[in-house]
Amino acid sequence: MSASDGPAGDGLAGDDSVRDDLGLAVRVPRRVERVVSLVPSLTESIAVSAPGLLVAATDWCTQPGDLDVTRIRGTKNPDVETIVRLGPDLVVANAEENREPDLAALRAAGLAVWVTAPTTVPAALESLDRMLVAACRLPRPGWLDEAVAVWREPPAGPRRRAVIPIWRRPWMAVGRDTFTGDVLTRLGVDNVLAGHAERYPRITIAELPEHDLVVLPDEPYAFSPTDGPEAFTAPSVCVPGRHLTWYGPSLAEARSVLRSRLDAAL
């Protein structure tokens, strides 16, 4: 099995090519029985949809809590040799979370590698459907239909202008064209750095555009009520990173969880 630049079929009739989010043709076998995930949110998506399908995941894949699979280090330094030795039918990855040299090494070893790259909520929902149905050969899961219905609702209430830090020492924040920014936009919160040239720019707090809210997720940096809010003069709200930055089963509940946290900050 290997990535191919040949014509893409529907991927459902046999060992045909289907195109991932990057437009790369991936040859998916007729039966997918062993999957390795390099992304926590994709791990949760597959494990919830088809328990037992995953054979390995990263050390950072914490959901579901009882996941019992081989661990292959982190998203940025996966154990390529172990993955190849496991002989998966498919490896799922993300263009932002995983490094291209690692994915190229997996392809060179003959593995089918499926890469996701959504930057909006609708794109994430579509991406999940294609990954689960076309790449993993699974029925469309019910939680995905629930998430689609939840995110059809328009935002309510006054709009806010926010900064969304993701790291400190140095300070970094969400910039342009991100899934995280789109989630907040659909909740009535506009990212003041959405027009920045970079997707995750370094920031100087004193030079930030005017804003009336700071949204602090607990990952990738573990912001908390005692670590982060003290650096800003605007009101801050701490939110679970899984509901703000992950796309998977958490999307079915993310809207209500985030909305309640944001409302509490008003």
pLDDT tens profile 82-102: 999 999 999 999 999 999 999
Q: Does residue 39 register a pLDDT over 60?
A: yes
State whether the Cα torsion 232-238-244-245 is positive or negative. Answer: positive
Note the pTM of the prediction, 2 decimals.
Answer: 0.90
Q: Does residue 16 register a pLDDT over 80?
A: no
Residues 107 and 29 reside in one and the same domain: yes
In-domain check, residue 183: yes
Residues 12 and 134 reside in one and the same domain: yes
Q: Does residue 6 register a pLDDT over 90?
A: no
Find all residues with CB under 8 Å of 187, minimum gap 6, and list them. Answer: 155, 255, 258, 259, 262
Quote the mean pLDDT of the chain.
93
Alpha-carbon span 113 to 24, nearest angstrom? 9
**Residue 155 confidence (pLDDT):** 84
Q: Does residue 182 register a pLDDT over 60?
A: yes
**Residue 13 confidence (pLDDT):** 42
Residues 31 and 122 reside in one and the same domain: yes
**Residue 15 confidence (pLDDT):** 62
Any idea what DSSP says for residue 132? I
Q: What are phi and psi of 27, to 5 degrees?
A: -85, 115
Q: Crossing angle for the helix pair 251-264 and 142-150, nearest 10 degrees?
A: 40
Alpha-carbon span 16 to 28, nearest angstrom? 6
The total of structural domains in the chain comes to: 2
Q: Give the three-class secondary structure for 93.
A: strand
Alpha-carbon span 214 to 45, nearest angstrom? 29
* pLDDT: which is higher, 78 or 15: 78
Question: Over pLDDT 90: what percentage of the chain?
Answer: 89
Q: Does residue 232 register a pLDDT over 80?
A: yes
Rounded mean pLDDT, 135-163: 94
For 109-250, where are the alpha helices, taking DSSP H only? 121-130, 142-150, 179-185, 241-245
Q: Crossing angle for the helix pair 121-130 and 251-264, nearest 10 degrees?
A: 160
Which residue range forms the structural domain that includes residue 241?
160-264
In-domain check, residue 154: no
